[in-house]
Each structure stands twice: as structure tokens, then as C-alpha cells.
Amino acid sequence: MSHLDDLIRRVDTAPLSKLESVRLTPVMLTDQPAGPEIGVAKVMDGTVVSFAAEVSPQHQEDAMQSNAFAHAAARAQHNPKTEREAYFAKYVDWLATLGWVIQGESTKSYSGSGTTFTMSKAVIDILSALATQNELMLVQASLRALESLADNDGRIRLFEKSAQVTDEGAFQLGVATETNGLMSLKLGAFQLNSSQRTTRVLFFGYSSTSTSLFYRVNSMTLSNELYAMMRQRVKFRLVENGLASIDEVKLFRPV
């Protein structure tokens, strides 16, 4: 059996955790845009990725679906709450199997500078070590767009429902760009443990003494050739396991 045959077999037979199927009606942003459009943020389960305007629709779909598959396959083998390191390692292993060439780091713990912190501030702090200023601008635009959504907006409800379970949360935020037909993605995977309960995971003020945040940030580039051979199989397996809908919010440059 060739190496490629082995990779395809793994995708075809991997156990996947169930993904809840959600159907959403498009909802307009509650606030009017303040400047020219610079990209789009896509939401799928507990994942938000900010795509620069030059990223093709196909690459946007590839990024969301490959990450959803890797997450579901890793979660089927390891509990992200009780087996954090094993879960993150398996998640990255699956991304590599699907064609992502990855540079990354081990799981780390975040320490806020004050007595309280918000997840949105922590995300910017963490990604700033890896992302360019333009990429950070896209992430900040995504966070502003999500914060502006009403509590009953389907997009924020989809993210919150997937990201938070009682006193723990697991979610991913990243930013994607494209150059000469190659897509690059800088993605942070975050796990939050807190005794405080909230319905707005990203924007609530958490106490530094009663909250712990673990994260792993990876910089990766997708192999177009390899993923082209995986794409339809990944789609089929996700649909088979209750593909969650992908919804989006447009991003605008502040004036």
C-alpha cells in the first residue's frame, strides 16, 4: 500500500465525534459597516477563521472543513478537557494527514496582566507573536463583528453553543491569507477553564485567579495537490457525521 493510499484509508475509516447539524437563516449585522470591506469571517461550530479578501472561496471552504474534520477526529479519540496534550497532538496530526504543512509549538498557559481579562484580548495577545499587523487587523475586525451581533443572532449562538460547555470551553480562532495560489493559516486552539458562567465566551471579563487558559498556535500552509485528493472524502465524512453549517460575517476596515 502506498503512502497516499494509507492516508486515504485513514480519512475513510477514522472515527469522528458527532457534529451537530445546524441550519441558519442569514441575519444582517446589527451595526452598519464603518469602512471598505476587507474580508470575511466564517463560523463553524466553535471555530472562527478570518479570511483576507484574496483567499478564494474554495480555499475558504477547504480551511473550514479540514479543521472541522481534524477536530472531530481528535475529539473522537481524546477528551480535550481531560487529555489536553493528547488531543492537541492528535488534532495537529490530522491536519498534517489532510495536507497542511505545519510549524507549531507545544501547549502553553496564558497569564493575563491584570486581575481580569477577556478572551478577545487574550486571543490578540497570543496571535500577535505570530501574525502580521494586517492579519491582526483581520482578527480584530472579526471580534468586533461578532461582538456587535445580537445575542439571538444565529452566528454567535452557533459559536457559543459549540465553544462552551458548563465551566469549560474549547474553541479556535485564526486568520488566513493567500499568495500565488497558496493558502496560509495561523490558527490558535484555546481551552478555557473557569468557575464563572457566561453566555459570551469571547467578551466576558474573567477573573485571572479563577480562570485558566491553555492554547496552541500553529502556522500552516495547505498543499493544494494533496488536499485535492482528500476534499470529497472529507466532505462526505463530515456530512455523514452531521456537518455543522458554515455562516459568515463580512469584515470592514475602520474609518
Distance from C-alpha of 96 to C-alpha of 78, rounded to nearest angstrom: 18
166, 195 Cβ separation under 8 angstroms: no
Looking at residue 213, the DSSP 8-state letter turns out to be: E
Give the three-state DSSP class for 90.
helix
Distance from C-alpha of 251 to C-alpha of 170, rounded to nearest angstrom: 24
CATH number of 36-252: 3.40.198
Q: Is 81 exposed, middle or buried (0-12, 13-18, 19+ CB in 10 A)?
A: middle
Number of H helices, E strands in the chain: 7, 11
The full set of domain ranges for the chain reads 36-252
pLDDT band at 27 (very low <50, low <70, confident <90, very high): very low
* Better pLDDT: 148 or 162: 148
| Prediction pTM value | 0.79
Residue 67: closest CA among 122, 19, 137, 110: 19
Element (H, E) at 50: strand 47-52
The H-assigned helical ranges of the chain are 3-13, 57-77, 84-97, 119-127, 133-148, 154-163, 224-240
pLDDT band at 106 (very low <50, low <70, confident <90, very high): low
Looking at residue 53, the DSSP 8-state letter turns out to be: T
> Is residue 247's pLDDT more than 60?
no
